[in-house]
Chain A
Amino acid sequence: MAKLKLAVYWGAACGGCDVSILDLHEKILKIGELADIVLWPLAADPKYSDIEAMEDKTIDLCLFNGAVRNSENLEIAELLRRKSKILVSLGSCACFGGIPGLGNLFNKKEIFNSVYLDREFNANEEQIVPKAKVTVPEGELTLPEFYNTVSSLEQVVDVDYFIPGCPPPPDLLWKAIEAIVSGNLPPKGSVIAGDKALCHECPRKREGRKVKEFKRLVDVILDEEICILEQGVVCNGPATRGGCGARCVRANIPCRGCFGPIEDALDQGTQLLSAIASTIDSDNPEEIKKITDQLADPAGTFYRFSLPVSMLKRRKEEGEE
Chain B
Amino acid sequence: MSKKKDFEPLIVGFLCNWCSYTGADLAGTARIKYPTSIKIVRVMCTGMVDPSYVVKAFKEGADGVLISGCHPGECHYVEGNVKTMRREPLLANLLEQLGIERERFKLMWASASEGEKFAKAVQEMTDILKPMGPLNLGGGKKIG
Write the residues of chain A forming the contact surface with B, with a CB cutoff of 8 angstroms: 68, 74, 105, 145, 147-149, 151, 155-156, 266-267, 269-271, 273-274, 276-278, 280, 282-283, 285, 288-289, 292-293, 295, 297-300, 302, 311-317, 320-321
Residue of A nearest to B58 (CB): A312
Question: Can you list 26 contacts pairing A with B, beta carbon distance less than 8 Å?
Answer: A105-B98, A147-B143, A149-B141, A155-B142, A266-B52, A270-B51, A273-B90, A278-B86, A283-B85, A285-B85, A289-B89, A292-B90, A293-B89, A297-B97, A298-B97, A311-B55, A312-B55, A312-B58, A312-B98, A312-B137, A312-B138, A315-B98, A316-B135, A320-B137, A320-B140, A321-B136
CA distance A142 to B35 in the complex (A): 55
A293's contact among B59, B86, B93, B137, by CB below 8 Å, is which?
B93
How many residues belonging to B are interface residues under a CB distance threshold of 8 Å?
Answer: 35
| Most chain A CB within a 10 A radius of its CB, from B83, B135, B143 | B143
Task: Give the contacts of B83-118 with A (CB-CB under 8 A).
Answer: 83, 85-91, 93-94, 97-100
Task: Provide the residues of chain B in CB contact with A293, threshold 8 Å.
Answer: 89, 93
CA distance A74 to B142 in the complex (A): 12
Task: Give the contacts of B4-50 with A (CB-CB under 8 A).
Answer: 50
- B143 in contact with A155 (CB, 8 Å): yes
- B55 in contact with A267 (CB, 8 Å): yes
- How near does chain A come to B48, taking the closest CB pair, in angstroms? 11
In addition to A266-B56, A311-B59, 17 A-B residue pairs with Cβ atoms within 8 Å of each other are: A105-B98, A149-B140, A267-B52, A270-B51, A270-B94, A274-B51, A277-B83, A277-B90, A289-B89, A293-B89, A297-B97, A298-B94, A298-B97, A311-B56, A315-B97, A315-B99, A321-B136
- B82 in contact with A283 (CB, 8 Å): yes
| 6 tightest Cβ-Cβ pairs between the two chains A and B | A316-B99, A299-B97, A270-B51, A277-B87, A270-B52, A292-B89
- A316 in contact with B85 (CB, 8 Å): no
Task: Provide the residues of chain A in CB contact with B99, threshold 8 Å.
Answer: 315-317
Residue of B nearest to A104 (CB): B98
- B87 in contact with A283 (CB, 8 Å): no
Task: Provide the residues of chain B in CB contact with A299, threshold 8 Å.
Answer: 94, 97-98
CA distance A313 to B138 in the complex (A): 8
- A292 in contact with B93 (CB, 8 Å): yes
- B98 in contact with A317 (CB, 8 Å): no
- B94 in contact with A74 (CB, 8 Å): no
CA distance A298 to B51 in the complex (A): 13
- B87 in contact with A274 (CB, 8 Å): yes
Residue of A nearest to B134 (CB): A321
Task: Provide the residues of chain B in CB contact with A270, threshold 8 Å.
Answer: 50-52, 54-55, 91, 94
Residue of A nearest to B87 (CB): A277
| Most chain A CB within a 10 A radius of its CB, from B56, B83, B89, B140 | B89
Task: Provide the residues of chain B in CB contact with A283, threshold 8 Å.
Answer: 72, 79, 82, 85
Task: Provide the residues of chain A in CB contact with B135, threshold 8 Å.
Answer: 316
